[in-house]
Amino acid sequence: MTIVRKVEKGKVTIVHSLIEATTTSAEISCVGYNAILVHTVVTPDKKDMQWTTKLQGCMTSGGTFVDWYDGATLMSFQTDSGKAVVWKGVPDFVKVVATEISDGGKATVTVQPLNV
């Protein structure tokens, strides 16, 4: 007998759309979910246009958001074109910070809460 586990997914939300400078998103509710899929695309995708995407979290809505870690590892990644990651162990409320590392290029970040 094969057991198939259905992955529950939340709403897909664009939290940053073609931003040109470092920006922090509005609060994103992950209530009822234990993970989040984060997808960043850099336009145009050139090696000299680096962006870092990181997760900040808070246990309560409207509270103080801090950098979020999985153990000792900061939930962040860097890309010059596009990248998607799934972070597990997220709090009920998160924000996504997109940081421009080198001048030029625009970033779009999309998220989707889910259960894994």
CATH number of domain containing 43: 2.60.120.680
For tokens 């259960």, the residue is 115
Q: Hey, what are 49's tokens?
A: 């246009």
Strand order in the sheet with 35-43: 13-19, 106-114, 35-43, 82-88
Q: Is the dihedral of CA 14, 66, 31, 69 positive or negative?
A: positive
Overall pTM > 0.95: no
Residue 69, in any domain of the structure: yes
Number of structural domains found in the chain: 1
* pLDDT tens readout for residues 63-101: 999 999 999 999 999 998 999 999 999 999 999 999 999
Residue 7, in any domain of the structure: no
Domain that holds residue 68: 13-114
Strand pairing report for 51-58 and 66-67: antiparallel
